[in-house]
Amino acid sequence: MAAIEKRSGADWQKLDKDHHLHPFTDHKELHQKKSRIITRGEGVYIYDADGNKILDGMSGLWCVNIGYGRDELVDAAAAQMRVLPYYNSFFQCANPPSIELARMLQEVSQPQLNRVFFAGSGSESNDTIVRMVRRYWDLMDQPERHTIISRKNAYHGSTVAAASLSGMKAMHRQSGLPIPGIVHVDQPYWFGSDRSLSPDEFGIVAAGSIEDKINELGVNKIAAFIGEPVQGAGGVIMPPDSYWPEVQRICDEYGILLISDEVITGFGRLGTWSGADYYDISPDFTPFAKGVTSGYLPLGGVMISDRVADVLIDKGGEFFHGYTYSGHPAACAVAIANLKILQDEQLVERVKDDIGPYLQAGWKKLAEHPIVGETRMIGLMGAIEIVKNKKSLQRYEEKQGVGTICRDHLINNGLVLRTVGDTIVAAPPFNLSHDEADEMLEKIWRCLDLTQATISA
Ligand SMILES: *Cc1c(COP(=O)(O)O)cnc(C)c1O
């Protein structure tokens, strides 16, 4: 039955080196160290080919929100694949799982978001939005309105349009990005600023950079603004409370479309069904992916507001856009099973009222560590800022690679977290128990000690 050969860890590493190019990876460096072969997952733990048990503090890549080993999702995929593994949603066809999922998505989304366009990933969802936003303004007889404002250090995916929306310099330095018609303004990263303003003053100034850009380019050129409610890959950057209300005001005042990239924050990560719910904003588009299936199968999509959908439908005729796997029946069946688990087990509420506050309390205490300058967490999405000087909050020199040192200590001690520069980020599964949260916290403290010892050695 098994489709996969049994091989030793060393064999897998050799084959991986010879035949497999990894995403976001320096291959020369990887093959000096060898890849870590993950073979199994159960609950909040993953297991590697050497038999190590590792607590997955990142839910895979911010996606395995209900944890590993849930048979309901496996059974949903198998049952659907037996009945109808695939059929397309082009040519006036649809399949029951995609329709049922569309209904459920509407149910957990804000009232203005009644329609979904399916894609295969977050990147494809954002590419869809770039095209849809421009199509909308064409249909509104304002074809000049094509520019989308995004933010520095944002992450919206890796395809050409999504990488252009992303604000990552390292990505833009490669392959001639960003494409025209996408501009970037300041991110609301108070800790990363000179901290001369209060967080709320800083939030207003950061949002103000959107208004400045609108005025610089002319409002008749601006189609939309896109932001992650909490920036994920950029370092779990939580905007000051003043930020999102001001962004909403600006979008309303200038009539530009608001895109809330919910690929990480959707489906409970912040203890609410969306980041837009958490910050009480009212977007026209919410791209989603990751948590919609808890990563068990790839699926993405975009929830679209009535304001936009009505125009596309009434005036648009055919929109020449779509993916072979838009509305993939097996992926949609898995998403339905996943949403049912989130609802039946009240996991979003659990993040808000139980495990979220529990982990947050311990997270706060990590701020007492001598090399920690700040900790922050909303729901189950958190960050720890490593600093050299706790008083002045001065950082270590970049070339010391302190974040990487800490991450390596963590994984060697059985906990996966990610680092972005010297910021440690965490996003554990929603089924994390209190004991497992304690294990995370204890390991982080110990590895901060080890990191400090490594640097001083
Ligand atoms: C991961 C991510 C994406 C891209 O999703 P993929 O499925 O990797 O294409 C887009 N936006 C945000 C906020 C993300 O975190």
270: domain CATH number is 3.40.640.10
Q: Which of 298, 315, 344 is the last residue of a domain?
A: 344
Identify the helix (H) or strand (E) that includes residue 448.
helix 434-456
Share of the chain above pLDDT 70, in %: 100
Residue of the nearest CA to atom 6 in ligand 1?
122
Identify the domain containing residue 371 by its residue range.
36-66+348-456
Please classify residue 111 by burial: count the beta carbons closer than 10 Å to its beta carbon, then call 0-12 exposed, 13-18 middle and 19+ buried. exposed
Pocket mutation for ligand 1, best pick of 156, 164, 231, 325 (most atoms within 8 Å of C-beta): 156
Cα 64 to ligand 1 centroid, rounded to whole Å: 14
28 belongs to a structural domain: no
Is residue 172 over pLDDT 90? yes
Cα 263 to ligand 1 centroid, rounded to whole Å: 6
Return the CATH number at 56.
3.90.1150.10
| 26 vs 171: CA distance, rounded Å | 14
Counting the structural domains of the chain, the total is: 2
Q: Which of 282, 316, 344 is the last residue of a domain?
A: 344
Digit-coded pLDDT (tens) for 120-153: 999 999 999 999 999 999 999 999 999 999 999 9
Cα 259 to ligand 1 centroid, rounded to whole Å: 14
Confidence of residue 33 (pLDDT cuts 50, 70, 90): confident
Mean per-residue pLDDT, 250-272: 98
| 154 vs 165: CA distance, rounded Å | 8
361 and 450 fall within a common domain: yes
Q: Which atom of ligand 1 is nearest to the CA of 298?
A: 7
98 and 57 fall within a common domain: no
Mean per-residue pLDDT, 38-58: 97
Cα 187 to ligand 1 centroid, rounded to whole Å: 18
Is residue 3 over pLDDT 90? no
CB 381 within 8 A of CB 232: yes
10 belongs to a structural domain: no
Whole-model pTM: value is: 0.97
304 and 395 fall within a common domain: no
Residue 34 CB coordination number (10 Å): 14
Is residue 2 over pLDDT 80? no
Confidence of residue 1 (pLDDT cuts 50, 70, 90): low
Q: Residues near ligand 1 with C-beta < 6 Å?
A: 121-123, 126, 155-157, 228, 232-233, 261, 263-264, 289, 300
Mean per-residue pLDDT, 273-297: 98
44 and 94 fall within a common domain: no
Mean per-residue pLDDT, 357-380: 98
Digit-coded pLDDT (tens) for 205-256: 999 999 999 999 999 999 999 999 999 999 999 999 999 999 999 999 999 9
